[in-house]
Amino acid sequence: MSEKALSIENLTVTYGGITAVKNISLHIMPGEIVTLIGANGAGKSSTLKAIMRLAKSTGEIQALGQSVIGKETHEIARMGVALVPEGRAIFGNLSVRENLELGAYVKREAEGMKKRFGEVVELFPRLGERMSQNAGTLSGGEQQMLAIGRAMMAEPRILLLDEPSLGLAPKLVMEIFAAVRAIAKKGLTILLVEQNTRLALETAQRAYVLVSGEIALSGNAAELRHDPRVKDAYLGDSAHA
Amino acid sequence: MPALAKRVGIAVLIIGVLAGVGPLLESVLTEYAMRIIILCGISIILAVGLNLINGTTGQFSIGHAGFMAVGAYGTAYTVIMLEDHAGAFLSSLPEEVAHGGVLIAGLSVGALVAGVAGLLVGAPSLRLRGDYLAIVTLGFGEIIRLVFNNASALGGPTGYDGGRPAGLPAYTNFFWVYACAAAVIAVVASLTFSRFGRALSAIREDELAAEAMGIPTTRLKVTAFIISAMTAGVAGGLFAHLQSSIRPDDFKFDKSIDVIVMIIVGGLGSISGAALGAVVVVVALELLRDAQEYRLILYPLLLILLMILRPKGILGRHELSISYLRNLFSKKTATPPTTTEAP
């Protein structure tokens, strides 16, 4: 059995007195796309935050063979884990180019910069047309492209995506997910947190279903798509024909 | 290295021009006008330094006067100590060299102690996100003033004059103030337009995203804060040797607010804006002196008017440059092209 890219053992995340994630364990193999689905407040984003040490938690988290516990967020980024935050969190008053350059902050050497820019523009040609524009003036879809492109500038080995479809028109959602699949083809390990269950299950190889902070179901994404419990709760197939 | 040679050349040129312009201005202008010009220079140092932390990094510090005070006392004390203990050596040197050397040594110590104060204040409060820095720096400004008020070795509330009947030596002149201002602008500008400066802007825009991008946000914020405190220390030291004595009340809370007003007036996040704002505020406050008690009505009115007309300050986030001015004037004839550019 090959080394896991990411493994979480008995993770519990609490904010004040509220427990957002209760004792969950999950893992991702290298090159896999795994999705974490569930309703609002099920603990999906908290799990991502815990991986980046942006939320306090107990339990063990290992990324690329190293424990992240006790590390600072910027050190985890340096290990090759990139987060595309919920709500995009782009640097609005800086240009698209500056946003992308900052994405490559962990890459000190300048030689690879041009190549990395090329790869991001290939992924999102629209960003290429908007290089000197202020990021805050981009449309929602373009901002999401920028957020993903910025994360890719660090040439990460693990990409954590937090609700990339949030608030986007269907056509743009398809574009974003096409890009996610293209990124996966490069061999990146992807953990996708998504409320759009159907799309998430179509994109991922495996899935974990979170309900109130606990893993209710897990397994092959294609099989879960046809699981009656998932259909009832998240896909709404039986309620609306 | 041609880049280094160019920089040294520019530095020599600036020093030469300042050395020539200083005596020229002194011979033409009144002592009063000269003092205003020098105060403008000191304010430029304060504003450009504060802008690094408030404008570029987006961390709101309201205790700049406190660091100025630390620098002022540190500089004055060092100058007096040097002259008291190394007087024989100093008198063997030409007067200009001795005075300048002592002042530079004093300013270095002033900047250093202000930087240490910046580390002590910044390190704990910048670990946190949000408004904590504002609260802590507000407290620091008041505490440091009370400390000097009660430090009898430094004159307490009546002020520090080095124990001399003539007061502190008046070494601060046009040349030293503007040489320091040029040095501070050069340092702050080269930091702002570097990888470090861009990371600072990222912290201002979204601290969590910056951290997730691999930027060690706490370390960078503390570094920027210390540099900002050191520039305030230099300004304080220059201010000290402009006066015959320094009193704790010279560094009250409103002094901090004045500097904040300068950077907001000039355009938060712009170095040339900060410098311009400093000059505008100092000159405006002087011109309004004639209005006496109405000054406190007219000054806020002017600020309100400015915020209505130029909500982002005179320059906004732009830097004053030839291309910016050209854009400004061509705007009247044609709308600037939308910036779409191939990579």
- Report the candidate in A101, A110, A179 with the shortest Cα–Cα distance to residue A135: A101
- Average pLDDT value for residue range B152-177: 91
Report the pLDDT value the prediction gives residue B172, as an integer from 0 to 100.
Answer: 93
Please check the confidence at residue A43 and state whether its pLDDT lies above 50.
yes
How far, rounded to the nearest angstrom, does the alpha carbon of residue A57 sit from its chain's CA centroid? 19
Token representation of residue B304: 């309100």
Please check the confidence at residue B1 and state whether its pLDDT lies above 70.
no
Half-sphere exposure of B112 (CA within 13 A, CB side): 9
pLDDT band, residue B308 (cuts 50/70/90) = confident
Report the pLDDT value the prediction gives residue B148, as an integer from 0 to 100.
Answer: 95
- Say which CATH architecture domain A1-80+156-241 belongs to: 3-Layer(aba) Sandwich (3.40)
Express each pLDDT in A132-184 by its tens digit: 999 999 999 999 999 999 999 999 999 999 999 998 999 999 999 999 999 99
CATH code at position B23: 1.10.3470
| B341 touching chain A per CB within 8 A | yes
Domain with B89, as residue range(s), is 2-321
Residue B335 lies in a domain: no
Q: Are strands A18-28 and A6-15 parallel, antiparallel or unpaired?
A: antiparallel
Half-sphere exposure of A20 (CA within 13 A, CB side): 20
Report the pLDDT value the prediction gives residue B143, as an integer from 0 to 100.
Answer: 95
Q: Pick from A91, A103, A154: which is nearest to B201 by CB?
A: A91
Residue B328 lies in a domain: no
| A79 touching chain B per CB within 8 A | no
Judge contact between A146 and A96, C-beta under 8 A: yes
| B4 touching chain A per CB within 8 A | no
Residue B340 lies in a domain: no
Report the pLDDT value the prediction gives residue B341, as an integer from 0 to 100.
Answer: 40
Report the pLDDT value the prediction gives residue B68, as an integer from 0 to 100.
Answer: 97
Report the pLDDT value the prediction gives residue A84, as an integer from 0 to 100.
Answer: 96
How far, rounded to the nearest angstrom, does the alpha carbon of residue A6 sit from its chain's CA centroid? 13
Residue B27 lies in a domain: yes
B146 versus A2: which is more confidently predicted? B146
Give domain limits for chain A. 1-80+156-241, 91-155
Q: Which amino acid is at A20?
A: A
Token representation of residue B152: 């009898």
In chain B, how many domains are there?
1
Report the pLDDT value the prediction gives residue B139, as an integer from 0 to 100.
Answer: 94
Report the pLDDT value the prediction gives residue A241, as an integer from 0 to 100.
Answer: 37
Report the pLDDT value the prediction gives residue B215, as an integer from 0 to 100.
Answer: 96
Report the pLDDT value the prediction gives residue A107, as an integer from 0 to 100.
Answer: 87
Q: Pick from B208, B216, B339: which is nearest to A54 by CB?
A: B208
How far, rounded to the nearest angstrom, does the alpha carbon of residue A149 sit from its chain's CA centroid? 12
- Average pLDDT value for residue range A117-122: 94
| Residues in chain A within 8 Å Cβ distance of B342 | 128-129, 131
- Average pLDDT value for residue range B77-99: 89
Express each pLDDT in A72-106 by its tens digit: 999 999 999 999 999 889 999 999 999 999 999 99
pLDDT band, residue B77 (cuts 50/70/90) = very high
- Report the candidate in B226, B320, B269 with the shortest Cα–Cα distance to residue B56: B269
Q: Which amino acid is at B223?
A: T
Please check the confidence at residue B338 and state whether its pLDDT lies above 50.
no
DSSP B148-182: HHH-GGGTGGG-B-TT-TT-S-----HHHHHHHHH
Please check the confidence at residue B92 and state whether its pLDDT lies above 80.
yes
| A136 touching chain B per CB within 8 A | no
Q: Which residues lie closer than 8 Å to A209 by C-beta, 6 or more apart?
A: A37, A38, A215, A216, A217, A218, A224, A230, A234
Neighbours of B59 (CB within 10 A): 28
Q: What is the DSSP letter of B294?
A: G
DSSP B78-122: HHHHHHHHSHHHHHTS-HHHHHHHHHHHHHHHHHHHHHHHHHHHH
Report the pLDDT value the prediction gives residue A239, as an integer from 0 to 100.
Answer: 44
Report the pLDDT value the prediction gives residue B163, as an integer from 0 to 100.
Answer: 85
Please check the confidence at residue A6 and state whether its pLDDT lies above 90.
yes
Residue B39 lies in a domain: yes
Report the pLDDT value the prediction gives residue B340, as an integer from 0 to 100.
Answer: 43
B216 versus B327: which is more confidently predicted? B216
Q: Are strands A206-211 and A158-162 parallel, antiparallel or unpaired?
A: unpaired
